[in-house]
Amino acid sequence: MESRRRDILALSRRGALRGGLGMAALAALQPAVPRRAWAQPRWAENPFTLGVASGDPWPDGMVLWTRLAPAPLEGGGMPMLAIPVTWELAEDPSFQTILRRGEALARPELGHSLHVELAGLPAGASFHYRFRVGGWASATGRTRTAPAADAAPRRLRFVNAGCQNYEHGFFSAWRHVAGEDELDFVFHYGDYIYEGGPRGGQPRRHNSPEVYSLEAYRNRYALYKLDPDLAAAQAAHPFLHSFDDHEVDNDWAGPFSEEDGSRRDRPAVPPEIFALRKQAAFQAWYEHMPLRPSQLPRGPEILAYRGLRFGRLLEVSVLDTRSFRTDQPCGGATAASCTAREDPAAQMIGPAQEQWLSGRLRPGRARWSLLAQQVPMLQRDTGSEAPRYAMDKWDGYPAARDRLFAQVQESGLQGLAVLSGDVHAAWAGTLLREFSRPERGAVGVEFTATSISSGGDGSEQVAATPRILARNPHLAFFNNRRGYTLHEATDATLTARFRAVSEVTRPGAACEDRGSFTVEHGRAALNPG
């Protein structure tokens, strides 16, 4: 937490404060009643259609979120006025004992979203919360604070999940996440929405052509948030949110759109034009996630990487592997290596984020160090004869990966675990210091969560599974079903349970474990079962 406050200096050079907010902007977010406020709002329809959520738990507080939208798929249906909304925090779900109550303004500039940043609460405690406005009450959410910084919790439980293409199927996995007992957090690695237009032959349909404008992004988020299974999960547990590519544009990289000129069938989108789309996408992402004001975007720029601490047991570094990377090499697809892939100056997270992360990857800060990020860090050679790599993943940026692994090994850090997603399949493997020289040892382990729905029902395996596992002996597990990964950390071990639903093309699917692994602290190795 403290390091995060020190580490948001990149935007300070542009005259910002607290990761993108100047004093004037901070004042604009405070609940002072403006002249153009609707003092006693009334609606015929429920304004809380998009549910509630909480996020980024600290030892003394968290963020509570909702967005007023009585007509959620039509821009929200709100007047261009600031609306005072009451929030309540209680120790019981019936709100017999209300601990805190306050008022916040839902502003039209932010789509009438609310981000109530609470502080001064007891550490390691559970709470219930809700919002009230105009005679309506929101659904009740459940949240919790992180353990105190010097606490030694007996265990922590958390989920890794993402990639939820609305068209590809139903979000049954989120209903099962909602039912998990006492999660300390859910890490959403990204692809919360998909930006494309509707396609035929799918279980569900997107509500517009491909999205580019702020209003279109808002309507797309509304479509996803109206899903009852997703809404149940977001109300049940605090989330740590990051974004990947589809919140903006498929396979975007730093200032470059997917249409970067590498394909002859698509004209290149200039970076200054793509910046306009990023600005709309980032604002919509912020408006729909339980994020702190330090994540408020400034135009096409955002500082989404940040650190959280869960006592002395776990330190989480949420990374941004999109905003600061160089363009994908070798045409950006899965391909044989090329000269650009070997560029020693290639960037995956950028120099400033690398420096911030190097200060966190040091022994003694916490028992386990968790890198919560978007795309696989493991090497995955999928070739039949010559090696082939997915250039959008860390495999496309081996120099950046090598710098990270060198820093971990040189520091003597033990207990490194990486969370990832994006590839619509579950993987587990060992992060070798140098994948071509396993004798150099391992620096950590990685667990890649499968998708919630993206890719359709999937299968247990694919035809290439035996070949890929044989070419990559550091990989220990693969499963092609949809679902999520449930983790538990103790002082001695970190476990992963890969949970999968039976199908996504119909709602209400059952969920079961498809594999599990345990990592002993101090030994970067995966033990099945």
Q: What pLDDT, in 10s, does the model give residues 303-336?
A: 999 999 999 999 999 999 999 999 999 988 899 9
pLDDT(528) > 50: yes
Q: What is the phi/psi pair of residue 342, to 5°?
A: -90, 10
Please choose, from the candidates 203, 181, 201, the residue with its C-alpha nearest in 3D space to the C-alpha of residue 503: 203
Paired tokens of 380 = 């995955």
Q: How far apart are CA 442 and CA 463, in angstroms?
A: 29
pLDDT(445) > 50: yes
Residue % of the chain over a pLDDT of 70: 91
Which one has a higher pLDDT value, 9 or 70? 70
pLDDT(525) > 70: yes
Residue % of the chain over a pLDDT of 90: 89
Question: How large is the average pLDDT for residues 469-498?
Answer: 98
Paired tokens of 294 = 């330090």
The single-letter code of the amino acid at 132 is: R
Name the DSSP letter for residue 75.
Answer: T
pLDDT at 42: 79
pLDDT at 162: 99
- Could you tell me the pTM of the whole model? 0.93
Question: How large is the average pLDDT for residues 390-406?
Answer: 98
pLDDT at 266: 75
User: Mean pLDDT across the chain, nearest whole number?
Assistant: 93
Q: How far apart are CA 79 and CA 108, in angstroms?
A: 8
Non-local (6+) Cβ contacts of 523 within 8 A are: none
Q: How far apart are CA 395 and CA 400, in angstroms?
A: 10
Lowest mean pLDDT among 6-10, 151-155, 407-411: 6-10
Which one has a higher pLDDT value, 12 or 162? 162
pLDDT(1) > 60: no
pLDDT at 27: 40
Structural domains of the chain in order of their starting residue, each with its CATH number:
2-30+146-528 (3.60.21.70)
Give the bridge partners for 478, in sequence order.
427
pLDDT(24) > 60: no
Question: How large is the average pLDDT for residues 143-169?
Answer: 99
pLDDT at 14: 34
pLDDT(394) > 60: yes
What b/e string do you get for 334-353 counting C-beta neighbours within 10 Å, with b at 16 or more? bbebeeebeeeebbbbbebb
**Is the CB of residue 87 less than 8 Å from the CB of residue 99?**
no
pLDDT at 101: 98
Sign of the dihedral through C-alpha 162, 327, 357, 320: negative
Paired tokens of 184 = 């300390």
What pLDDT digit, counting tens, does each position of 208-239 carry?
999 999 999 999 999 999 999 999 999 999 99
Please choose, from the candidates 426, 433, 389, the residue with its C-alpha nearest in 3D space to the C-alpha of residue 411: 433
